Amino acid sequence: MEYTKLRTQKVRFLLVIVTIVFGFVLPSYLGNTIAFPESENANINPPSLQENTVYLNSTPPIIDGNLESYVGEWSNSTKITSEFGSPYRTMTIRVQANDTHLFMGISYISPIFVPINTTIPVGDTYNNESHTWYSIVFDNNDDGTLGTELSPGDSIAINYRAKGAQDSFVNGTYNNSLVLDVNVTGTENSLAVVNGTVKDDFGDHVISIEIAKELNSGDKEGNDIKLYPSESIYFLILAFENKTAVYNYSWLDAAITPWKSFRLDTTYDYFSYIENYEDINIITYVDDSSTTAMKNFTSIHNILYTYDMNTTYIRTSDVYEIRTDGIAGVDLFILIGYHNSLTNSEIETLRVFVASGGSLLVLGDATVSTQAKLNELLRNFGMEFYTSPLYSKDTAVNSSIVINPESIVNLPYIDQPTYFTNQTVASLDYYGTAINFTNGIGEGIYQFQEGDLYDTLNISGDFFIDSDKDGEFNSTNDLSLNDSAVVQAALELQRGGKLIACASADIANASFIVERSNKYLLLHQIQWLLNVQNLISYDNFNVFEESVITGDAINVNITVHGDNDTVEDNVKVWVVVQELKTDKNISNLSDMGDGINFNGSIIPEGVKAKFVDISIRMHKRGFGYNETELIEVYIETILSGNIRIEYVSLIVFIISIGLVGLGVFALRKYRTD
- Return the CATH superfamily for domain 1-39+535-673: Immunoglobulins (2.60.40.10)
Interval 180-219: pLDDT, tens:
888 777 888 889 999 987 888 888 999 999 999 999 998 8
Q: What is the pLDDT of residue 664?
A: 57
Distance CA 646, CA 18 (A): 19
Question: Does residue 92 sit in helix, strand or coil?
Answer: strand
Regarding predicted confidence, which is higher, 147 or 110? Answer: 110
Query: In 211-367, which ranges are continuous DSSP H helix?
Result: 252-255, 294-305, 324-327, 344-355
Q: What is the pLDDT of residue 125?
A: 52
- Give phi and psi for 408, each to the nearest 5: -90, 120
Contacts of 586 (CB under 8 A, 6+ apart): 574, 575, 576, 577, 602
Distance CA 619, CA 535 (A): 9
Give the angle 218-224-227 at the CA atoms, nearest 5°: 75
Distance CA 321, CA 323 (A): 6
Regarding predicted confidence, which is higher, 173 or 221? Answer: 221
Closest CA to 168 of 263, 73, 247: 247
* Domain chopping of the chain, boundaries: 1-39+535-673, 53-265, 277-529
Lowest mean pLDDT of 38-42, 311-315, 578-582, name the range: 38-42
**Mean pLDDT, rounded, of the chain:** 82
Query: In 187-293, which ranges are continuous DSSP H helix?
Result: 252-255
Which stretch of DSSP H or E encloses residue 662? helix 645-670
Distance CA 615, CA 628 (A): 6
Interval 25-58: pLDDT, tens:
444 433 333 222 232 222 222 233 335 888 888 8
Looking only at the bridges linking them, the beta strands covering 611-620 and 281-286 are: unpaired
User: What residues pair up with 636 in beta bridges, in sequence order?
Assistant: 549
Q: Is the dihedral of CA 185, 186, 187, 191 positive or negative?
A: negative
Q: Is the dihedral of CA 238, 243, 245, 247 positive or negative?
A: negative
Q: Residue 618: pLDDT band by 50, 70, 90 thresholds?
A: very high
Interval 285-311: pLDDT, tens:
998 776 665 456 788 888 888 888 899
C-alpha 368: how far from chain center: 29
Q: How many C-alpha atoms does 116 have within 13 Å on its Cβ side?
A: 21
Residue 21: pLDDT above 50? no
Its pTM surpasses 0.85? no
Distance CA 385, CA 489 (A): 11
* CATH code of the domain occupying 53-265: 2.60.40.1190
Distance CA 266, CA 230 (A): 8
Q: What is the pLDDT of residue 66?
A: 94
Same fold, 1-39+535-673 and 277-529: no
Query: Environment class of residue 25 by beta-carbon count within 10 Å: exposed (0-12), middle (13-18) or buried (19+)?
Result: exposed
- Give phi and psi for 42, each to the nearest 5: -70, 135
277-529 CATH, one of 1.20.950, 3.30.450, 2.20.25, 3.40.50: 3.40.50
Interval 322-367: pLDDT, tens:
999 999 999 999 999 889 899 999 999 999 999 999 999 999 987 6
Contacts of 433 (CB under 8 A, 6+ apart): 364, 366, 385, 386, 387, 388, 389, 390, 465, 487, 503, 504
Q: What is the pLDDT of residue 3?
A: 44
- Give phi and psi for 658, each to the nearest 5: -65, -40
Interval 636-658: pLDDT, tens:
886 544 555 555 566 666 766 76
Distance CA 513, CA 167 (A): 22
Are 501 and 375 spatial neighbours (Cβ–Cβ below 8 Å)? no
